[in-house]
Structure 1
Amino acid sequence: MIYYALAIFVVLLDQISKYVVSHAMNVGDNIPIIPNVFYITSLRNSGAAWSILEGRMLFFYIISIVVLVVVIYYMQKLGRFKPLLGTSLGLIIGGTLGNFIDRLLHGQVVDFIHVYIGSYSYPIFNLADSALCIGAVLLLIYSIVDSKKEK
């Protein structure tokens, strides 16, 4: 199914990028791509976004497994028949698996995308995080469009 292929693509791209960053850079190294806007910065995170719940690996294992079970259930039930929903769920599966693999194998997540919005340094993230966010936004759009169709 195409949406599971999307999830696999996200996991592969995420894991390859994290491998390259973790083997080519030391933690804290910083490569400017667009000065004052976009950098590759090697960082490790044992928590969630913005390092919240740092070191709570059991919690993240459980949450990841629950999310995967629920999302795969909805993929099988509805997502495979609805392109926007299937795409959003595929991205969520891929992003969840990408970070789950890091936590399981290394006890932490490799983050490296560092963006500045004006003078604000946005918390450093990775491709799995991006897939999760894009998947969540698409899921929200799907929910809004679907609820309007029902009315």
Structure 2
Amino acid sequence: MKLDGMSFFQLASERMTWLGARQSVISENIANADTPNYKAREVNDFAQALDGAREMSGLAVTDAQHIQSGNTTPDGVRIERDETAWEASLDGNTVSVEQQTIKAAEVAGSYRLAAELYRKGHSLLTVAVTGIR
């Protein structure tokens, strides 16, 4: 993961964007907990997402007849099959609601931390510029 030339605020913002994408995938997993043969999904690591965002330029639509993707995942974020799923039910579904709940709580805590760091950084800049607390 390269952090050269990346500001603290950009890093915090990208982290919150990645966490939002991860929370979306978790909620989709929970919504499909009773769907036969549904396989739990997960997003790639944050470090991989950062590296991927710098390397990816996206697909170019060069013709009006090209089908545009409805994918709303941020650059660098890949949604993959969750290989750490706890169990599979008899109908082939690999979503464990308990595991997804734990992941959702982790994401919420990480998001709060990133938002607080972002707020503290803003406060430090305000003090540095104005000298007023």
TM bracket (short chain): 0.3 to 0.5
Which one has the largest radius of gyration? 2
- Would you tell me which structure has more helix in proportion to its own residues? 1
- Would you tell me which structure has more strand in proportion to its own residues? 1
* TM-score using structure 2 length: 0.33
